Amino acid sequence: MSATKRVLIVDDEAPIREMIAVALEMAGYECLEADNARDAHELVVDSTPDLVLLDWMMPGMSGIDFARRLRKDEMTAEIPIIMLTAKGEEDSKVKGLESGVDDYITKPFSPRELVARLKTVLRRTTPKGVEEPVSVDGLTLDPISHRVTSDDKPVELGPTEFRLLQFFMTHQDRAYSRGQLLDMVWGGNVYVEERTVDVHIRRLRKALGERHDYLVQTVRGTGYRFSAKVA
């Protein structure tokens, strides 16, 4: 892996969480743990895991209901979810998949199988621009080398402008409010004023120059959009 992936393990049984965490950490993943949906949701908002391993049967909110909650919120809708459960019947699997999970593993399972399935889901759900270069009209961002070029000429960006551009280039043609950008780029646990977004947008446009500043578009009454289409 080019960067450490963060996995949130949600299971009310501590021995199972520990077994999974050991296997994933040996495979190079960073692990977060929660034993209920409420604590899990706080970790999702604050830490933005790359994937959630979610037990079906938990006290309080079930794994199925938690998965549905994540899918309904546009801030968390794209996080891949693997459901872990002792329910092996076909109807249960269908119900799990219909709730929006990306894969379904029946207990008991081997750590080796779990790691293999997890890698497959992450490969399938990782957008370009997270691990692969992405280009728009001569503007190219390479997340591995952390370089941006405009018609093969280097573009100098600060770390926040780089993250902002990376988010924009992997989420094109959609308007985002300042609050949404703060959550997506700065993180849900960072408290800064929404006007901070405007400052970094100006810096980003200035760095992109006349050739590419048109890509970062102001959407009146909403926020900003990244698009190669002229607004």
Identify the structural domains of the chain with CATH numbers, from first to last.
6-125 (3.40.50.2300), 134-226 (1.10.10.10)
Confidence (pLDDT) at 1: 37
Task: Decide if pLDDT at 228 tops 50.
Answer: yes
Q: What is the DSSP letter of 186?
A: I
Q: What is the token pair recorded at 36?
A: 């209920």
Using one digit for the tens of pLDDT, what is the confidence trace for 36-53?
Answer: 999 999 999 888 898 999
Chain-wide mean pLDDT for the chain? 86
* All residues at 6 or more sequence positions from 186 whose CB lies less than 8 Å from its CB, including other chains: 160, 192, 196
Cβ pair 212, 138 in contact under 8 A: yes
pLDDT confidence tier of residue 59, bands split at 50, 70 and 90: confident
137-187 per-position pLDDT tens digit? 999 999 888 899 999 999 999 888 998 999 999 899 999 999 888 877 876
For β-strands 6-10 and 30-34, DSSP reports them as parallel
Q: What are phi and psi of 109, to 5 degrees?
A: -135, 160
| Exposure string for 142-158, b = 16+ CB within 10 A, e = fewer | ebeeeebebeeeebebe
Count CB neighbours of 222 within 10 A.
Answer: 12
Query: Structure pTM?
Result: 0.57
Q: Is 101:72 a contact under the CB 8 Å cutoff?
A: no
Q: Give yes or no for a contact between 169 and 136, defined as CB atoms under 8 angstroms apart.
A: yes
> How far is C-alpha 201 from the chain's CA centre?
21
pLDDT at residue number 2:
43
Q: Among residues of the chain, what percentage have pLDDT more than 90?
A: 53
Q: What single-letter amino acid sits at 132?
A: E
Tell me the C-alpha distance between 33 and 52, whole Å. 10
